[in-house]
Amino acid sequence: MPALIPKLPRWGAAWLGFALPLLAGAGPPADADIAAAWQLMAGSLARDAYTRLDRIPGAPTREQALAQAVVVIDYQPVTPDRLQEAEAVFAELARGQDEIADAAAYLQARLYQVHYQQPDPVRAAALYRALAERHPDSHWAQLGLVKLGLLLLYALPEPAAPAERIAAATALLPRIKETKLQRDLHLQIAHAGTFYEQPLDTVLPHLIEVDRIGGLVGQAPEDLAIELGELSLRAGHYAQARAYFEAYLRDFTPNIRSVTVRRRLEDLAALEAKAQEARR
């Protein structure tokens, strides 16, 4: 039978025999696998990300080690042992000086804040503070300050008095340079203010700042517009209340609260007339 392909030189065949199995097993480069794993994590597919990372041969890079530890946080069933293993990786990576170190330090704090069965807010707060001291401008340190704010508002034993909790969280704001993160902490401070029944004039500036920065999605912008109108009305800032209520009716229609808002605008008109009467 005639050969379908020409005979390879002997050395060529030997080279291919050695190289082909290696090429077949190598697959795409590790960087592509790690990028794909991040994409899968972003899509809430931690299990698939784990599989993707698991097939990368050789010793893991720092980025791969971080990704593998992150996956563990949401790899069901999540067990205390696995979380502790992840923490060991985060702690080791956090010793570096790069962005991976900052992400790892942040995630180590998150374990103590929400992931461990028994949260430890004091330890989480200490880790956030240490990260913010070490690399104050890192995104992870900035995000950590927002989470530290939440701990101060609700979870840490000290300060205990609501006004002091709010003051401590407010003191973090100048350290946060990223505007979207500033907005998130402003919103939390405002909500803590109404939760702890603080004077409305201490709550409203935070809500106004959230509105100024903007960019919220989902139900949040609608609730914010209503809160701004209603709390302004209750605080006696009638012109401000009117502006926010009218903006609400313009931007969020149709809505189940539209009639209530229109009723509040009528109440507002009566209050304004009364105030004008009193001034005469």
Binding region for other proteins (CB under 8 A): 34-35, 37-46, 49, 63, 66-67, 70-71, 73-74, 103, 107, 110, 114-115, 139, 143, 146-147, 150, 153-155, 180-181, 183-185, 187-188, 191-192, 194-195, 197, 215-220, 222-223, 226-227, 230-231, 234, 252, 254-261, 263-264
The full length of the chain comes to 280
CA distance 126 to 104: 15
In angstroms, give the least distance from the CB of 275 to other proteins.
Answer: 20
Task: Work out how close the CB of 196 gets to other proteins at its nearest, in angstroms, rounded to a whole number.
Answer: 10
Please, which residue, 8 or 54, has the CB nearer to other proteins? 54
Is the Cβ of residue 114 or residue 171 nearer to other proteins in the bound state? 114
Provide, rounded to whole angstroms, the least separation between the CB of residue 150 and other proteins. 6
Nearest to 129, CA basis, from 156, 98, 162: 156
Sort 234 into a burial class: Cβ within 10 Å, 0-12 / 13-18 / 19+: exposed
3/45 with CB nearer other proteins: 45
Q: What is the DSSP string of 13-65?
A: HHHHHHHHHHHHHH-S-HHHHHHHHHHHHHTT-HHHHHHHHHT--SS--HHHH
Distance CA 235, CA 194 (A): 12
Q: Give residue for tokens 């502790």.
A: 84
Residue placing its CB nearer to other proteins in the complex, 52 or 279:
52
Query: Closest separation between CB of residue 199 and other proteins, Å?
Result: 13
Minimum CB–partner distance for residue 126 and other proteins (Å): 18
Rank residues 184 and 211 by Cβ distance to other proteins and give the closer one: 184
Residue whose structure tokens are 């104050």: 136
Shortest Cβ distance from residue 165 to other proteins (Å)?
11
What whole-number distance in Å separates Cα of residue 71 and Cα of residue 53?
9
Q: For other proteins, give the closer residue by CB, 134 or 191.
A: 191
Helices (H), the chain: 10-26, 30-42, 46-54, 62-73, 80-93, 99-110, 121-134, 139-150, 162-170, 179-195, 200-213, 220-234, 238-251, 258-279
Closest approach of other proteins to the CB of residue 58, in Å: 20
| Cβ proximity to other proteins, 238 vs 252, nearer residue | 252
Asked if residues 234 and 200 have their Cβ atoms less than 8 Å apart, the reply is yes
Q: Which of 100, 75, 96 is nearest to 85 (CA)?
A: 75
